[in-house]
Amino acid sequence: MLSVPPVGVIIANHDNSTFVGKAIESVARQSVRNLRVVVVDDASTDGSDEAIRRCLSRLDDKRFHYVRLPSNLGQAGAIRRGLAELDALEAPFICVLDSDDLWYEDFVARQLVAHLNADFPVALTYCDSHIIDGDDRIVAGTAWWFDHVSGASAPREIDASAIPSIDPATGLLAYRPSPRVTLHPRWSPAGATNTMASMMLRRSFVDLLLVRPGQELKLYVDFYLSTLACLLTGVIAIHQALYAYRMHGRNKHSDAAVMGGAYNSSTRSWDSVRTPILHMIEKVLQSEAAAIRSAFGEARYEEAVALIAGALGKTEVQPTTKSGGNRVLDTLLGKASRASGNGHAPSR
């Protein structure tokens, strides 16, 4: 029989002493037990170190390893430090849990089987989320941007399976499990995935493309990696909320309120986040061109370059090579430049 590969987990924490213990416990409860877990405290100043040590001591789980950074490296730097503790051959898939979010017990299992489907391999799987507040109370049953179709405004029926039930004895909500998964083979500026905590990635993909120094990517690693995954391999969406995304009032990004509708989770404009990251991706496509071409092929590389250029509003793209992929450059560039939408995966 075939065996399940180990999964590497990084819990990245900065000044979330109130919630980090709950995040760690949600990983310890995973139904998939073959995990290698690194908790990285990114030089917190709020008592997080004590909270983490208390939680790990109480669990006494040898799968968990703790690293405390002496200086703040930001999200990318903390993830990179966690990766250094994980053997790539031992854990070919990785997940990153933000320390104020919670995974449900089957999060890793559902992500792993989606990756190991017998249809098409991808670099990234991601799922929907519930939105909760600082007291673990649910305020929304979905992240509206998950698999969102821009411009869809016609009346539609909401499937009964999307409506939760309430246990009258306990007052707890229950949602029906959904088996639906969707392969998205190409990137669109109008598309969206979800937060870092929603994802499982191939370690080899992250090792190749998480190349920017930590100081240049303090936040939004989710948008950076998910965009590259969509561009270069395609991604798989799991149509079920497998974790809880916490909006507690002190998030570094999601500092707004749940208003209903296509609300903005941040008081910042999405374009002020999106544009710098797309420029960074453009630079990575240039600086790592040889490695990306070798891994994903000439056509996929040229397509990625054209799509990013179009999303940045550039009217001309000079092909870097003469390949079969160049025949689609004009069409792709035109489509990308006309597309619009928030396409966001909110970070903390």
Amino acid 249: pLDDT: 54
Residue-range domains of the chain with CATH: 7-268 (3.90.550.10), 278-338 (no CATH)
Contacts with 190 (C-beta within 8 Å, 6 or more apart), sequence order: 150, 339, 340, 341, 343
Average pLDDT over residues 301-327: 70
pLDDT in tens, 123-179: 999 999 999 998 999 999 998 888 776 666 788 898 888 899 999 999 999 999 999
pLDDT in tens, 248-282: 656 566 655 777 877 777 667 778 888 999 999 99
Confidence band for 315, pLDDT divided at 50, 70 and 90: low
Distance in angstroms between the alpha carbons of the first and the last residue of the chain: 41
How far apart are the C-alpha atoms of 127 and 105, rounded to whole Å?
14
CA angle 146, 231, 330 (to 5 degrees): 115
Average pLDDT, rounded, for the chain? 86
Most confident of 59-68, 73-82, 205-214, 335-344: 59-68
List the one residue out of 204, 195, 218 whose CA is nearest residue 295.
Answer: 204
List the one residue out of 150, 149, 132 whose CA is nearest residue 141.
Answer: 132
How far apart are the C-alpha atoms of 333 and 336, rounded to whole Å?
5
How far apart are the C-alpha atoms of 165 and 167, rounded to whole Å?
7
- By mean pLDDT, which of 15-19, 246-250, 308-312, 334-338 is the weakest? 334-338
How far apart are the C-alpha atoms of 71 and 42, rounded to whole Å?
7
| Comparison of pLDDT for 224 and 319, the residue scoring more | 224
Q: Is the predicted pLDDT of residue 47 greater than 50, yes or no?
A: yes
User: What tokens appear for 258 in the block?
Assistant: 């749940």
Q: Is the predicted pLDDT of residue 213 greater than 70, yes or no?
A: no
How far apart are the C-alpha atoms of 304 and 287, rounded to whole Å?
14
Amino acid 258: pLDDT: 76
Amino acid 262: pLDDT: 78
Contacts with 152 (C-beta within 8 Å, 6 or more apart), sequence order: none
* Single-letter code of the amino acid located at 295: A
How far apart are the C-alpha atoms of 196 and 163, rounded to whole Å?
26
| Comparison of pLDDT for 93 and 316, the residue scoring more | 93
| Comparison of pLDDT for 348 and 76, the residue scoring more | 76
CB 292 within 8 A of CB 281: no
